[in-house]
Amino acid sequence: MPELPEVEAVCQKLRRDALGALILRARMLRKRNRALEARVRGRRIRAIERRAKNVLIHLDGDWSLRVHLRMTGNLYVIADARHLPATARAWFELEGHSGLIFDDPRALGVIEIHRTDDLAALLGNLGPEPLSRAFTAETFVSRARQSSTPAKVYLMNQEKVAGLGNIYAAEALHRARIHPARAMNRISSRKLTALHGEIVAVLRHAVKSACRAYSGPGSYNSEENFPVAVYGREGLPCPVCGRGVQRIRQAGRSTYYCPGCQR
């Protein structure tokens, strides 16, 4: 599933390939939405931004597309809008006959149109962006100390940290040497401060890697160089202490951790 770094990479590529383009026409292919098709026609793409794992495409006339990629979605521009992939869920023909494609093999993603001014309320329950100035160590520690939620589950809560997903939450906890099942209010302020720093460091590294090489969910490019220590490595040796990485279930998701490093 695309997480914050991958969604940021999608946004950066869209800014390069679609910013300022005029939408000539649009078509929702799997679930017809004539209102969306009509509202985007003839509008120019004015800005593209990310909020948590949402791609926001702002159009002139105070309209915005909100796209959530979910498990298998991707957004990209192709040179000729007529050459659609079989898994396209929606396409937007741009001037010059290029196409902005919402590719979604499992049709789990979300694409909606909203008044731009309504987005703040729609996304108002999201927590601070972990790569923004609003995500301070002081605020993070203060809020975390009030919660008895297990550390990994807490980090996955989008109301606590916007956009942080399974992979990078596990890696940040490993770097901070915190057991994923430990309650947040049982972790020292010193370790929580360290965790804050590791979240930022992990995401910055992952964003650079994703922007350099990400091409879509489930794909791999040799230029990607984010080194996972625990995620997806059950039974393999921890690169720090050599103990075998273990996996547990938390809130219906797999959590990977090192029993030697994380206590």
DSSP-H helix ranges across the chain: 4-18, 34-40, 119-122, 137-144, 151-156, 166-175, 189-213
Catalytic-residue membership of 8? no
Distance CA 168, CA 90 (A): 30
Label residue 98 exposed, middle or buried (CB < 10 Å: 0-12, 13-18, 19+): middle
Pairing relationship of beta strands 246-250 and 63-68 according to DSSP bridges: unpaired
Token reading at 53: 């794992």
Catalytic-residue membership of 177? no
Token reading at 173: 């906890």
Catalytic-residue membership of 160? no
Residues β-bridged to residue 91: 27, 101
Catalytic-residue membership of 212? no
Residue in 51, 143, 145, 253 annotated catalytic: 253
Q: Helix (H, G, I), strand (E, B), or coil: what is residue 257?
A: strand
Among residues 172, 190, 189, 179, the alpha carbon closest in space to that of 151 is found at 179
Q: What's the Cα-to-Cα distance from 240 to each of 63, 194, 234, 258, 262, rounded to whole Å?
A: 49, 17, 15, 9, 11
Residue in 53, 89, 152, 233 annotated catalytic: 53
| DSSP category for residue 31 | S
Residues marked active site are found at: 2-3, 53, 253
